Structures are given as structure tokens and as C-alpha cells.
Amino acid sequence: MSPRYLTHLDPVYLQETARQIPYQRIHCDLFPAIEVWIRRDDLLDPVISGNKAYKLLFNLLEAEEQGAHTIVTCGGAWSNHIHATAAAGARFGFRTIGIIRGERRPVLSATLQDAERLGMQLRFVRRETYRRRNEPEFLSELGLAQPGILYIPEGGANLAGARGIQLLGQVIEETAPIDFDQLWLACGTGLTAAGLAASITRFSVCGVEVLKAGSSIQRDVEQWLKRLPKPYGAMREPGCTSNHTEADLFLNSTYHCGGYAKNPQYLRDFQKVFECQTGIPLDPVYTAKLMYALHRESEGGRISSGSRMLVLHSGGLQGRRGFREKVLSKRLQN
């Protein structure tokens, strides 16, 4: 399946498109003794890609319901969410404003250049300001607390976003080609992990944290799980208290590889080998760390032999450009 374009803002259409996403068996020697499949949500759309698409489209549906004409959101210079929001705004008829952390550079990142080309208005704010992005006064201080404006938090991490991820979870339950033991995915805010854990009952969910966050992702995920409606399967008999979180969701915090967007040589080498052996492109920030974690865990014998793992390709391939540019500019400086 080649990437297609999401053409309608409609949950039924999104669900139908999600049902067509292929599952691919991975044949290579990086995952000894286990069976690995990957669900290619990077192919959902060339620009509104991966898990961001599910979160974002449900936010845009919310905007439509509220009669909002403008989406305000925030992110860094290479943010997949900013990129997807700019593209989705252009496609579905919303004005978009991106609040970007840090100063405007003379040459914008490829992500922000795309965002501007797609019509997003960029507002650069100092890091101190950006840190307060989840506080209630944030928008009004920027003069953006106005009717007709919908604010989507960084990464699309809100309740509407979680509903989009739950749709993805239902589709995975329905379309999984075999009975998997675990679903592996990369975690940033943890919303995708929470949304999937709250909608999948057939196998457990294992999230690989890509940033050095202490226990904060775990805490956030638990908060989300309390707020999200559970799938039918998780509603056990009366009197049996649901321990859905503990039983079915695991977070692994040992594969951040130095921190968010850190890309050490061993990770670059692994990514190259994986891509050569499988032909599947990864992004350095999320999915490379995810596959690396699965590689190390299986190689170290920490996964029972014969386990059947499904990996979620959550997209983000536009971010690959950041790493090429960084390597280049470092080379030019030397």
C-alpha cells in the first residue's frame, strides 16, 4: 500500500482508512526467538501521519462542532504534531497558529518551512513562556483567548485526541492478523499508550519512553486511564475490580538513549541496519528507539521465546530531515 491522502474529516471514513493499513511480518535477525509484525500507520497519509493523525482529526471534529475556525497549538522546531496540524488545517479549512518554543532562526527548520507554506502562522515564544503552555492564562497572555479559536495542547494530548487513539485501538483489535501477545509503541506524552490500553483487550500494551521523564509519563498515563471509557472486554463481572492498568500496560523507561531527540551513534547504526534489512523507514526520535528497545530486549533473552509482538509504526518520518541537517551542519562547522 502506498501512502494515500485522508480526504474527509469524518470518523467513519478514518476508521475505514485505518482498517486498510497493512500489517507486515518482519523477517530479519535483529529479534531472535520472537515473531515481530509491524502495523504501518506511517502510511495513513504522507503528511498527517501516524498517531498524530488520529489525535488531530478528532480534535478537528471537535473544532467543527464548536464552530471554531482557528486551531492554536504548540511544539518545537521539528514537531510532528505542528507539521500534521498545519497540513490538516490547510486540507480541512481551518486557520492554524503554531506557538513555537524558542527564537525564530534566520533559516527555519524544514518542518517549520512546511508549516508556513501550508499557511500556519508561527508565533515564537521564549522558553519561559513556553513552559507555561498548559496553564489557563497561556492563551490570553498571547492574545489568543478568543471565540472561534480551539487550543490543542502539545502533541494533541487531550481527551479528543485520546478518542481518536481509541478508534485506532478498536481497529487494531478487529484487524490484527494473528493473536499477538503484546503491542509495542513509542511514548512521548503517553497518551497513545493510554488510549490503546483503554481500547485493546486481546493483548497487552508495552510503551517505550523516548525521553528521560522519571515517572512522569507513568503518572500521566494512569491519569488518562482513569478518565477514558474502557472497552467492553475490560468490564469484568461485577464485584471484580478492574485492574486494567496494572495487568495490561507496561512502560519501559530504559531506552530513551540519553533523552528526547538524542541520537547516539549506536542508535544511528541500529536504525541503518534495521532499515537495510527490512526496507521500513524509521524516525530517529520515536520509532528507532522503539525498535532498538525490542531488539535489545529480545537479544538479551528478556522476552519469552516464541512471543508474538505487534509494533506500531506511529509515523513521524518528516522528522528524519532534522537529523540529516544536524549532521550536515556539524560537518560544515568542523
Ligand X SMILES: *Cc1c(COP(=O)(O)O)cnc(C)c1O
The residues that touch ligand X, with contacts defined as CB under 6 A, are 50-52, 80, 155, 157, 186-193, 283, 286-287, 314-316
User: Residue 156 Cβ, how far from ligand X at the closest point, in Å?
Assistant: 7
Q: Determine whether 316 is exposed, middle or buried from the number of CB atoms within 10 Å of its CB (0-12, 13-18, 19+).
A: buried
DSSP-derived letter for residue 237 is S
User: Residue 253 Cβ, how far from ligand X at the closest point, in Å?
Assistant: 13
Which CB, 91 or 320, lies closer to ligand X? 320
* Chain position whose Cβ is nearest to ligand X: 316
Report the alpha-carbon distance of residue 202 to residue 195 in Å, rounded.
Answer: 14
Which CB, 145 or 252, lies closer to ligand X? 252
Report the alpha-carbon distance of residue 30 to residue 36 in Å, rounded.
Answer: 10
- Quickly list DSSP for 28-92: STTSTTSEEEEEEGGGS-SSS-HHHHHHHHHHHHHHHHHT--EEEEEE-TT-HHHHHHHHHHHHH
Report the alpha-carbon distance of residue 293 to residue 38 in Å, rounded.
Answer: 14
Which residue is it, cell 513562556? 129
Rounded to 10°, the helix 265-278/287-299 angle is 90
Report the alpha-carbon distance of residue 292 to residue 190 in Å, rounded.
Answer: 18
Catalytic annotation, residues: 79
Which residue is it, cell 540529516? 324
* Alpha-helical runs (H) found in 176-230: 191-197, 216-227
Contact 106, 81 (CB under 8 A): no
User: Residue 151 Cβ, how far from ligand X at the closest point, in Å?
Assistant: 17
User: Residue 198 Cβ, how far from ligand X at the closest point, in Å?
Assistant: 13
Rg (C-alpha) for the chain, rounded Å, is 20
* Alpha-helical runs (H) found in the chain: 11-19, 50-66, 80-92, 110-117, 127-131, 138-141, 159-175, 191-197, 216-227, 244-248, 265-278, 287-299, 320-333
Which CB, 11 or 153, lies closer to ligand X? 153
User: Residue 75 Cβ, how far from ligand X at the closest point, in Å?
Assistant: 10
List b or e across 262-298, with b for residues whose CB sees 16 or more CB atoms inside 10 angstroms.
ebeeebeebbeebeeebebebbbbbbbbbbbbbbebb
Which CB, 315 or 322, lies closer to ligand X? 315
